[in-house]
Chains A and B, each alone.
Chain A
Amino acid sequence: MSPALLLRAGSRRPLAPQRGLRRRELPGGALVGQRGRPELGAPRSPGGALGSSRGLPPQRGLLGALVGLRGLHVLGPQGRSGGVLGGLRGLHVLGPQGRSGGALVGLRGLHVLGPQGRSGGVLGGLRGLHVLGPQGRSGGVLGGLRGLHVLGPQGRSGGALVGLRGLHVLGPQGRSGGALVALQELLPQRGLLGPPRELPLQGLSRGFAKVARTRSSRELREAEDSAPVFQYVGKQAKRKERVFVWGFCHAGALGIPSFVKPDAGWKKSRRIQPTPYRLDTVEKISSAACGYGFTLISSKTTDITKLWGMGLNKDSQLGFQRSRKDQTKSYEYVLEPSPIPLPLDTPQQTRILQVSCGRAHSLILTDIEGVFSMGNNSYGQCGRKVIKGEIYSESHVINRLQEFEGRVVQVVCGQDHSLFRTEKGEVYSCGWGADGQTGLGHYDITSVPTKLGGDVAGVNIVQVASYGDSCLALSDEGDLFGWGNSEYMQLASITETTQVNVPRHLPFKIGRIKDVACGGTGNAIVNEEGNVFVWGYGILGKGPNLMETATPEMIPPTLFGLSDFSPDTRVSRIRCGLSQFAALNNRGELFVWGKNIRGCLGIGRMEDQYFPWRVTIPGEVVDVACGVDHMVTLVKSFI
């Protein structure tokens, strides 16, 4: 007999034949034994228990307590045998103090104190059942499905049958034990009961107190051995992918609508989320990017929906988000991750590799269909011709860029310009160039992606970085190249001019560089040994005394978790927001520092952080994307 059968409310399980069944109609409207068939019980008593309002345990020679559906409080009979039938909801039943008692309990929120008789069967209903097993000699406890707390009977034979979820079961301390006990234990009460000629004082009423019994170490050991073993996670369990967000909420960039528009009375809208908050996503997110007030997240799936956006959409940087109220209009603020439909030729084969966001435009890199751009194009940053007087809000235009020699493998958005890096190691750019950030030798805007020259020509570039108006590029040999804005001393080591419009080699002796990041006013790199170097202007991470420097300064590795107890901790990745830095070490810890604009550092405080500070995230951080006033992290769970 499977447990499932037993627990189903409508099951009819004929127990031993009964005698003297009494049917009663209760004011609550519950007619016990409604199907007209007494199914429970044996005259002698029994303990059998069957859930739901069926049948009636006969109490021969005793008071039987039959209870109806709701909110009944019943004190079990003090007789020899007693059966208690509980109704459905909120039943509090004190098991009979008889020798044998059966407690039948209903479905929800039942609290049953097992009978102190010798045999007792307790059947629990479905939810939230708290059952104290009988202290009789034999007892069977049948638990329901959810949230059952069952103390096994302390009888000699006991079986605890428990349901599925979240169960806490203490195995019976009896001689025969076993988590799952067939109903045979419950049903044929005769064998369990024994003859009712027992000592009359056995079942003296003591309220809730139990007779103290010292248990020998052998008994304890046996009880322990017979306890059920739970498995929470299998041997090949996969680690779960999660996304955590924090920062400024009002633009909707975090993707949690209740922060902006609370959906329950007790919730309050919050302006800032100061610590990491989990964002529930439909798919596993492989790439995330934060722009100025908006966020893009993408997945490497081949499903049709692979790109979601949230936050500011006044320049259609999140595409056209059809409003539900008016089909012709698009949302200006998107509060939760909404799919962005891309005009792909093969939507079920193309995968999105990377996304990038700038001030008001965004770039999406796919594996076989090239680069897509959307959003503001006033300076040609989307790679298409500037149309005078174009209105960018509620626009359906998503441009596909194909003027590259070779496959694009990385896209980077600066504030109002775009950089593309191809497989061959060439760099293309387009957009606003007044600071020379396009690196094409002039200070005009460019609306068509054009190849860069200068010191970068002929060099195999493996990474480009930009977020504001200055740019950095890294070659495969570990050399660094920079161009763009130099007002904040980013390139002051090689030139006095404040704008550099041609890529120039930066001859720093800081080891072989592995990762670069370029922020609004400060730059940072990680070298092969895992050391972080910073230069530029602003809060650089070496205390309030270091506010600007033209040459890179190293941040001591002890601030990133290096210690005697963990001597091989290294920084593996560095990222920049507009005025913040984020570093990931090889243990998956995230360290942030910089200006704490609207709580974007996620450290729980609103003050600026002058040296690297660890962010507490429940997981191992895989990647981080920094924006102006918010951050998004891709995290793997620990186990």
Chain B
Amino acid sequence: MALKIVKGSIDRMFDKNLQDLVRGIRNHKEDEAKYISTCIDEIKQELKQDNIAVKANAVCKLTYLQMLGYDVSWAAFNIVEVMSSSKFTYKRIGYLAASQCFHEGTDVIMLTTNQIRKDLSSPNQYDTGVALTGLSCFVTPDLARDLANDIMTLMSHTKPYIRKKAVLIMYKVFLKYPESLRPAFPRLKEKLEDPDPGVQSAAVNVICELARRNPKNYLSLAPLFFKLMTSSTNNWVLIKIIKLFGALTPLEPRLGKKLIEPLTNLIHSTSAMSLLYECVNTVIAVLISLSSGMPNHSASIQLCVQKLRILIEDSDQNLKYLGLLAMSKILKTHPKSVQSHKDLILQCLDDKDESIRLRALDLLYGMVSKKNLMEIVKKLMLHVDKAEGTTYRDELLTKIIDICSQSNYQYITNFEWYISILVELTRLEGTRHGHLIASQMLDVAIRVKAIRAFAVAQMATLLDNAHLLTGNTQRNGICEVLYAAAWICGEFAEHLEDPMLTLEAMLRPKVATLPGHIQAVYVQNAAKLFATVLQKHEGETDSQAAQETSQLLIDRLPLFVQSANLEVQERASCILQLVKYIQKLQQKNVEVAEEVTALFAGELNPVAPKAQKKVPIPEGLDLDAWINEPPSESESEDEKPKAVFAKEEPKHSRSRHTEVDEKELARRREARKQEQANNPFYIKASPSSQKVYDAPGVEHIPVVQIDLSVPLKVPGMPMSDQYVKLEEERRQKEKADKKKKEKKKKREKRGKGRKGDSGPESEEDITPAHHVDIVTEEMPENALPSDDDDKDPNDPHKALDIDLDNLLSGAGSRPLADSEKLPVRTHRPEVLKSPAEDRDDNTIPQETKKKSSKDKKEKKKDKEKDRKRSKEDKKKKKKHKDVEEELPESLPEEVVQSEETKEASDLDFWLSSAPVPPVAQVVTVSSSAAAATVDSSSAAAAESEPEELKDTEPDDTKSSKHKKKKQKKEKEEKEKKKKKRHHHHHHHHSDAGAEDSVQNGTVEDEEPLPPMSNYSLLAENSYIKMVCDIQGNHQDESKVVVSVIFENKSDSFLKSMEFNVLDSLNSKLQRPDGAGPHDGLTVPFQLPPGVSNEARFVFSVQSIVMPQKLKGTLTFIVKTDESSTHEKLDFKLHFTCTSYLITTPCYSDAYAKLLESGDLKGSSLRLEGVNMPFHHLLARICFHHHFSVVERIDSCASMYSRSIQGHHVCLLVKSSDQTVSIDAKCDEPSLLGNVLDEIKQTFSKC
């Protein structure tokens, strides 16, 4: 056998391996393609062999060829073969090839499902790792669906190497199979606190990626991330978290407030530039989200800007680039802080690196003010001249226009200057942005009435020098400007000094080389000019000149009539006819000017873009309705089309037709000819157009036009610089003037049409040179508010927009619980399964009952495992130091809703609780508890909810509404899931199968549960009412958290509340260091009348097997307007055994093992006369006693809970005819006895 292998490998060693292939390709540089094709033939031969090593070698070579651009998809099946090799070496080659060339369209992928599953559960971690890596590249929706469960199991693998890969790949699974997000999320969240930093980083990575697309669903994780941010030292993780916060803050400004301080601390302390940069970025995001101009944040802005300046000044181009990038974000909200660094930014404009120049350009946009606009633009114009590449120059051009035109020309004080800038820009060679300049010219000329005369003069010069723009074909882009020039000259012809000259310029033969749409405008506006000229001449009673003008048009227009462009042709012939008619009238000495002008009378108002779209549809107008009755189909064939217009007509023409004979026609033709001959306006067929040019006249002396590549300084075209100087002088003068007439200062305000004028105070002084009346754009009355662009419907992330808060609470827990209690089957370390165990699990049938019949050997094994696990469990618990709690799960959906609003309020609580200096222990507890995610026990009683929410009410009502919708969705989803589960039954492992029952012990169509509350009355008097809830703290086995809600019932102000309890040997109130054992704790708030608030107190407990009662006193001062009195209220805190239990989910298999272990002592209880539906009963036990349902079959259910000290409590609840029997097992009999007593009490109460 060994000999055979050696022989095979000797055969093989003369096969080409990857190195040989590479070498061969390098040696065949001239006929590479040919060489490769022979290699591919060889590979095909190799793939046909049975030897897997040969195949793997071939596949490896294919991977290389794939990189060179060869399609290797034909070998997909062979790749699958190599993937399924048992040897790691080959498997890895196969997976690599698959990851490089498989995609959703590869059909052999569906053959891989089982192979991948096998590899995922391989005992060799590298097999698993390689499979995960490969899968991450080619996962399809099918694979994701089939393997989601396996990968989820791997998320709790014992090896961090596997865990981190499994966590990371979940993102890909979510993308392909969005339904997996909800069930997997709790476990993913749990991984955020994995002891291994790699796994933690992976989880952060995945959640950040998810949250980036749908941030609102992850808001509730903010407290957890906050904690990570303050505790983590891994820069990579920190960067991710900080980036995530950047995405979350816009949704929740209060979060921003909380972030500012730690972020600024980080900025000060970190030495990592990458981290510093991200902090600055997020602080910027925070500042943007907060309403701007908050005085106490100006320090943060200053800090950011200052740090960015350091970056920009750095010699490292990367930092410079990033500094500018971040700066542009600040710019939007805090332009002033950026403006002070103008020098630096202008300096960057001169940088040799184009990326940096572009960034600096972006910034300029916000740097301008009325004062410096001219200066900045002047500088940019210099750059325009210097710039060598067209892209950068075009970018400069658009930026100049952007800068000047921003917010309705807010910063332009002198429009003459702007127009001349635009005119100067027309000299740019080869720019693509001619139309941009043109539209600016039009816009300014139309909207700034005062500038029209100037603009028209400028445009006239442009038209006159049009050859400079059009001369070179390369300059085509810029000739768009002529469009604007022609239109402006025509429309505002009354401002023209010499309209005749312009008219002549517009009718030059060279115009015919312009693009059609420009010619059309030329023709039309020539007509307008003509009207003006006529009027002028008639005013001067210079009929000779008027007639010459008509003649000019008649001479030149035929050129346009011949145009190939329809628009030009049509307009030209219309106008030609018109002019001819006018000429005729002129010859009769009729005054026509007025009538001709009337043709173009009326002002054209600018209309806002989208104005048409925004016209609201009048009420009652149904655009889809028929205007007339629709024609019935049966009639249509034989009936003649109903003549809407004159019925008589066809008949009439027919009769006429018969009357007209040949003779008549001939006679008419003759008459027409006669008429045409006499008609001076009629253009005779042939030589007329040439004649035009033969005609003597100064205009027709051929002018040689010189195309200069260097633009001339066009006479009469003022340089913009000139204006800068003028403007300077004007401002000086104005200043002087102003001093004289201080009192009349306000009179000189800028035109009223200007809107959005929010220049800083100092700039108010600069008044525009003209009384600029910027005409605002017209909008239809009651136009609808602007509609935003919609998101891309194809975005795969849209499917991941799943409300996870809803999940967190929806799937199980009780009212008043919060987002933290997840329906986590995965929270428990018990669930940590190695793949081997997983396989065991699969062999165990789902039903617990059958398990008892398992053979003893296995039982023993299980026992051992179980013990190991519980050890692990304890270890883990110690590791967790944070205050975090789990609460019972399983509740009917109806209760979910109230809980959801609750949960929102918890986030609110976290957000609103300002970091209080840790004076008293209570405070530290509450704030640290807060930091540990939305604190669980903060849940308040349902009845006190409105008061508690008072300060955040608007928010809450909104969110609850929003959530209601979500809930509906969720319901649907659940149903869907249910169906799916049916279909893919075999795919689901025991844990998934048990999910339904774990979720909430109720079947969906069962009747709703009454609302429940765990808050019980602690004490009450006429001033104050205290209700409390006691919860175990699963992170610390000796701590119990008591949440007390204080409600002020009086009309007076309650303050200086002090909470004190007489400690017993077993239970002690945790007091701050240095406080005596009998000192009370100050309640960290005061209560205005009618308000309630919650405080939390931590107790340490030693033994938890017995219930306890502690006596306590609350002292407080009642303050009314006149007086203040000391009051006190005694209370008794009742620590039941139940309060030491923590809802802990448990899978049926683990549960069965637990029961089989025999470590547990039994006890039982019978309840008679319990008159409630079974699911209510279960919900009550779950809710009041912190149990979770493991499995439910009809009217029999197994339940589980765990004490803070790790005791297991198992219940088997059976119900028949108002009798409920509970069989219970626990490793601590006295604890069990007490718990059962308490359960009994619960049911005796109702």
Do A and B bind? no
By a beta-carbon cutoff of 8 Å, the part of chain B in contact with chain A is none
